[in-house]
Structure 1
Amino acid sequence: MPGYPGAVKPLVPPGVYTPQEDTDLLVDALLEEPLPDGADVLDVGTGSGALAIEAARRGTRVTAVDVSWRAVCTAQLNAWMARLHVRILHGNLFTPVRGQSFDLILANPPYVPAPDTGRAPQGAARAWDAGRDGRLVLDRICLEAPALLRPGGVLLVVQSVLSRPGRTVSHLRDAGLKASVTRRRVVPFGPVLRTREDWLRQHGLLSAPDQREELVVVRAELPV
């Protein structure tokens, strides 16, 4: 994984999202987030478990969720190799943790705009394809995450500017949270955007000279 203290490169088999710049950016935000002793952390859409493992390194109680059984098994193996305890559950977004509450929720959801195929993303594409506006999962997070936060609890979510972080901030504020963009990073196109570049330009999501993508972290806190 890209460099941060104590990182161990996770095992990532085919079909599981490989940690990239968005993971790195969210880890940076995680490492700077003050957490109470024994905090309860939720990593939703955990993939390889990279974020969950970094949270567990801080001595927190971590629950990780993924809709992919392959990702669940991968995260379990990576936590075991790191000798850290992470509770890893299979399920769709927040469904497995209904009725529970957390001090911190981490989310690196799919956020890449994708052509409408008339069906939900399949296979590995579930880790990045997010509908024509890139908000297929982001809007659900904005709607459902606030109910799982304890007073003073924080949501950290990473996304692309292509999927309108201003809308994320607005939705979270409407839900009563204090929300803002706290981190930004400009990165070269990854393989998904390179293959989708023409479509993004045709739909006005990229200007002609763009060959880089801006990633942001949105931080939202539930007031005490």
Structure 2
Amino acid sequence: MYAPQEDTDLLAGALSEEPLSPGSDVLDVGTGSGALALEAARRGTRVTAVDVSWRAVYAARWNAWRAGLPVRVVRGNLFEPVRGRTFDLVLANPPYVPAPSGGAPRGPARAWDAGGDGRLVLDRICREAPGLLRPGGVLLLVHSALSDPDRTVRHLRAAGLKAAVTRRRRIPFGPVLRSREQWLRHRGLLSADENNEELVVVRAELPR
């Protein structure tokens, strides 16, 4: 299971600014340890958390139990466990790191590798998340600038949402990016003098 990182912290900051009413329905996909789901539950919302990893599911359940928070944690591939439901807020911290192998990752790398352009999961979220939002509902999605935030915004706007990048943060390369730094430069995803990674939060709202 992937421990919470800077992207989780950035998304938590965006979550703190959302005017959620008690009893609002929140979905956290790719929940990992459940950190974001717990933050939402502390505000009196009804939270469903999803992860494809059983280890993550068990960890999130344990963390929710330990915190005394009523979070429903289920295993599944992205939105499959919540078909037919709608939400006031959808939180998403998916895999988004471009990978030389290009294909679907295996093992622990499922938490970060996302195809040759980093959009293996992002494009699916852009297609499917709009259908899960209630009128006035919001999607908060975090990913790397390496995986084309402009494309995310375009796709979400094309689906009828009001979308924009609302938060940015630069961080030092972690172990994964350091291990493929030369490949990223060769692909033109990193410039010759770029020595850190930019994370972004995209906020998209379905008009009422």
Q: TM-score, normalised by structure 1?
A: 0.91
Structure 2 matches for 1:101-180, cutoff 5 A?
Answer: 101-116=86-101, 119-180=103-164
**Matched letter for residue 24 of structure 1:** D
CA distance in 1, matches of 2:205, 2:75: 26
Please list the CA deviations of residues 122-177 of structure 1 after superposition, one character each: whole Å capped at 9, or x if unmatched: 11111100001000000000000000000000000001110000000000000000
CA distance in 2, matches of 1:151, 1:101: 10
**Matched letter for residue 183 of structure 2:** W
Select 1:193's aligned residue among 177, 182, 186: 177
Q: TM-score, normalised by structure 2?
A: 0.98
Residue ranges of structure 2 left out of the alignment (5+ in a row): none
Please list the CA deviations of residues 7-34 of structure 1 after superposition, one character each: whole Å capped at 9, or x if unmatched: xxxxxxxxx1111110000000001111
Structure 2 matches for 1:38-77, cutoff 5 A?
Answer: 38-77=23-62
Residue ranges of structure 1 left out of the alignment (5+ in a row): 1-15
On the 8 A contact 2:34/2:64 being kept in 1, the answer is: yes
Runs of 4+ in 1 over 3 A off after TM superposition: none
Aligned to 1:154, the other structure's residue is in SS state strand
On the 8 A contact 2:146/2:189 being kept in 1, the answer is: yes
**Matched letter for residue 223 of structure 1:** P
Does 2:172 correspond to 1:207?
Answer: no
CA distance in 2, matches of 1:206, 1:56: 38
CA distance in 1, matches of 2:199, 2:60: 24
Quote how far apart the aligned CAs of 1:82 are: 1.0
Identity of aligned residues (%): 76
CA distance in 2, matches of 1:138, 1:215: 14
Please list the CA deviations of residues 18-63 of structure 1 after superposition, one character each: whole Å capped at 9, or x if unmatched: 1111000000000111112210000001011111011111110000
**Matched letter for residue 66 of structure 1:** D
Q: Which residue of 1 aligns with 2:17?
A: 32
Quote how far apart the aligned CAs of 1:83 are: 1.0
Select 2:168's aligned residue among 162, 177, 184: 184
CA distance in 2, matches of 1:137, 1:219: 17
CA distance in 1, matches of 2:55, 2:107: 10
Structure 1 vs Structure 2 CA RMSD: 0.8
**Matched letter for residue 198 of structure 1:** Q
CA distance in 2, matches of 1:83, 1:190: 33
CA distance in 1, matches of 2:123, 2:146: 14
Aligned to 2:127, the other structure's residue is in SS state helix
CA distance in 1, matches of 2:111, 2:35: 14
CA distance in 2, matches of 1:49, 1:73: 10
